Amino acid sequence: MKLQLQPVVAAVLATVAVLAAPQAYAQKAEVIHWWTSGGEAAAIKEFASAYTKGGGTWIDTPIAGGGGAQARTVMANRTMGGDPPTAAQYNYGRQYEEIIKEGLLNNLDDVAAKGNWDKLLPEKIKNAVKVDGHYYAVPVNLHNENWVWYNKAVLEKAGAKEPTTLDEMFAAMDKIKAAGGGVVPLALGGQGWQEGITFRGVLLATGGLDLYNKTFKDKDTSGPGFRKAVETFKKLKGYVDPGSPGRDWNLATGMVIEGKAGFQMMGDWAKGEFINANKVAGKDFGCFMAGGPKMPYAIGGDVFVFPKSKNKDSEVAQKKLAEMMISPAMQVAFNNKKGSIPIRTDVDTSKMDVCAQAGVQAIKEGRLLSSDNELLSPDAKGAFEDVVSKFWNSDMSVDDALKSMTVALKR
């Protein structure tokens, strides 16, 4: 079979032409993330536009599902397969711990030095993105999962006072229950992760920062404080409707919006549902932090990591991305659209709504907390939530639950 020369020569010439092209087009950045819905996409659009304006090409690779689980699956496989993206979204935590250990991520020390991250980032956030003294992830926002949302009209009708702590919430829920009319006091979506959020909210309300750290950092579940939290958690079951198992979180929020339920314990992404239904914070719905006004803010939210690749251009692109994402202008633009809080304290947060301002205050006062995501391995966190869910849904005794939780934490 004779080899045709002409196509080969043409291919060689074309390759040379591409290689000789101006460097601007070489700064392609493929970014994996899971922000596919309208509101979320508006936020990442800010990043994409800024990067494109700066001369790069943003290649968007959204992968929805499982709260990021699908995206992480793809990321793990692409890393194994030798075709990693330029950047990938993760949540604060230990999900990317092993990727760092295997030496598969580029560190961001240059960018950090230039941007003075050591001074800029609050202590706890710094700890979350620094491993062995090197920066491996760029933090882009702060979410908190332990908010409580309520429908003002429902509370008013039942004659309940608007609560600012969990105890007051119980009182309000009793009033709603007594008022009857088919209104559910607490709207819960019966899925493992939602039950987990509810539990951690109760934990913070019962014992605050100390109990939270004792449980997730020291893995110590002995002591009356933890037991009280477990019992209080089960007490909430009496306020939840029987149709709760399996329900999606946003349908539970819908119940609160439509006045079919009074309260929901959910993260600050629930705000998006209210806004979409044209409800106004402070007028139609209210919010408070589960652990009370001085509750420490458990760190949640998103970071981006930058895998190593054979392509030298990708390193340049990665540094540009990191710098851009943490810049003051981008922090404001991104977080305004996302509904979360910027991780920089030197930006203008006055336009944010009441609920977000509370979070900003928490950062300013240094009330940040390493979350269970950071303190536990993904396996341990999952096993712990399994027990929480089983305890909630069955008649498992408190003692058995305590025993199983202790075992789970030690994974």
The interface with other proteins within residues 194-213 (CB under 8 A) comprises: none
91 vs 121 by CB, closer to other proteins:
91
**In the range 24-63, which residues lie near other proteins by CB under 8 A?**
30, 33-41, 44-45, 48, 58-63
CA–CA gap between residue 126 and residue 368 (Å, rounded)? 11
Residue whose CB is less far from other proteins, 250 or 327: 250
Tokens in use for 216? 């997730």
For 368, residues 6+ apart whose C-beta sits below 8 A from its C-beta are 122, 123, 124, 125, 296, 297, 299, 362
* Minimum gap (Å) between residue 234 Cβ and other proteins: 13
Query: 300 and 142 in contact (C-beta within 8 Å)?
Result: yes
* Integer Cα distance of 119 and 302 in angstroms: 20
Does residue 336 belong to the site contacting other proteins (CB under 8 A)?
no
* C-beta of 190 vs 262, nearer to other proteins: 190
Minimum CB separation from other proteins for residue 198, in Å?
A: 14
User: How many residues contact other proteins, by CB under 8 A?
Assistant: 78
Region of 72-80, 208-216, 303-311, 341-349 interacting with other proteins (CB under 8 A): 72-80
What HEC string does 243-296 produce?
Answer: CCECCCHHHHHHHHHCCCEEEEEECCCHHHHHHHCCCCECCCEEEEECCCCCCC
How many angstroms separate the CA atoms of 352 and 329, rounded?
15
For other proteins, the binding residue among 181, 243, 293, 366 (CB under 8 A) is 243
Residues numbered 80-139 forming contacts with other proteins, rule: CB under 8 A:
80-83, 95, 98-99, 102
Alpha-carbon gap, residue 226 to 58, rounded angstroms: 47
Give the contact letters, 357-386, x = binds to other proteins (CB under 8 A), - = no: --------------------xxx-xxx--x
Consecutive H or E run containing 186: strand 184-186
* CB of residue 210 to other proteins, shortest distance in Å: 28
| CB atoms inside a 10 Å sphere around CB 136 | 21
The site map against other proteins for 137-176 (x = CB under 8 A) is ----------------------------------------
